[in-house]
């Protein structure tokens, strides 16, 4: 099998959390374009349905929408069960759901801290381990987690200690699971995007001045595009990445290089 064939995902089944919009929508589209059947998983079911229909129409693949609270163990288990039942298996997943609360540490409430940790880190543990148990019992698979360059650096000028800590935790969880499952056929990797210009980010008036500051600091002078994350996740989901596990792929336009 040549490298182009190995990069294809024909016959594979997977899901993406936080996939109704933004990065998750973009990676779900990439998986389907590469030949996979995909579940668009999101708490916002209405938008997830529209996204699933859009991807299915564009790619001709089977694409379904599933509502799921990724911080609820029973909900995640039910979601994985539904993916397996409706798509016919589970070969890869992208644990992508996440939030950010910008607040100074001395003003941040414990409830705010826990909300970020639950969505960004605890949900990844639930998603990875529940999906991983299925993969371990059915010949293996690939798990991709969305970390962030914020797990490598402390972002400025915005204060976001909970977000930074959660994403560093995602990277270490990724490595830990990769080592535990290395001989069992389940690969676990993460991607660490830099500042990405999703529709919601670009449309937020209160972020305009921050975006200007980020761009001024960025070696490439701009935000990344969601589409610029597609190639790495398709690679990680497929057979071309058979020896790639426990790695974190920083896609940030060299932002963390200095």
Strands ordered across the beta sheet of 186-193 = 63-67, 37-42, 13-17, 92-95, 141-146, 186-193, 248-251
Asked if 6 and 238 count as a contact pair (C-beta separation under 8 A), the reply is: yes
> Of the listed 13, 134, 167, 195, which one is catalytic?
167
CA–CA distance, 2 with 147 (Å, rounded to integer):
30
How far apart, in Å, are the Cα atoms of 91 and each of 72, 75, 80?
22, 20, 11
* CB-CB contact of 189 with 171 (8 Å): no
Is residue 192 annotated as part of the catalytic site, yes or no?
no
Q: Indicate left, alpha or beta for 16 from its phi (over 0: left) and psi (-120 to 50: alpha).
A: beta
Identify the active-site residue in 163, 190, 192, 235. Answer: 163
Task: Find the length of the chain.
Answer: 258
Most distant pair of Cα atoms in the chain: their distance: 56
Question: Which position among 123, 142, 148, 166 bears the catalytic label?
Answer: 148
Active-site residue flag, 163? yes
Question: What does the alpha-carbon distance between residue 215 and residue 219 come to, in Å, rounded to a whole number?
Answer: 8
CB atoms within 10 A of CB 11: 11
Under DSSP, the state recorded for 88 is S
Pair of tokens at residue 247: 């790695």
Catalytic residue positions, numbered: 148, 163, 167
């Amino acid at each position: 099998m040549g490298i182009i064939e190995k990069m294809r995902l024909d016959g594979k089944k997977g899901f993406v959390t936080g996939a109704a919009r933004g990065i998750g929508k973009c990676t779900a589209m990439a998986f389907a374009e590469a030949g996979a059947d995909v579940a668009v998983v999101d708490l916002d079911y209405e938008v997830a349905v529209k996204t699933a229909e859009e991807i299915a129409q564009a790619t001709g693949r089977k694409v379904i929408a599933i509502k799921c609270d990724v911080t609820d163990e029973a909900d995640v288990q039910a979601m994985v069960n539904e993916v397996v039942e409706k798509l016919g298996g589970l070969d890869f997943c992208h644990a992508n759901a996440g939030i950010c609360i910008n607040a100074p540490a001395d003003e941040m409430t414990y409830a705010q801290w826990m909300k970020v940790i639950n969505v960004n880190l605890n949900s990844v543990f639930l998603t990875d381990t529940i999906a991983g148990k299925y993969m371990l019992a059915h010949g293996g698979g690939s798990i991709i987690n969305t970390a962030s360059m914020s797990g490598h650096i402390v972002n400025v000028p915005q204060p976001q200690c909970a977000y930074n800590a959660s994403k560093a935790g995602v990277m270490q969880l990724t490595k830990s699971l990769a080592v535990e499952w290395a001989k069992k056929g389940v690969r676990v990797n993460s991607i660490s995007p830099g500042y990405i210009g999703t529709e919601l980010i670009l449309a937020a008036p209160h972020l305009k001045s921050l975006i200007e500051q980020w761009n001024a600091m960025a070696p490439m002078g701009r935000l990344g595009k969601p589409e610029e994350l597609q190639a790495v996740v398709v690679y990680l989901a497929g057979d071309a990445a058979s020896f790639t596990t426990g790695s974190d792929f920083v896609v940030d336009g060299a932002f963390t290089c200095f």
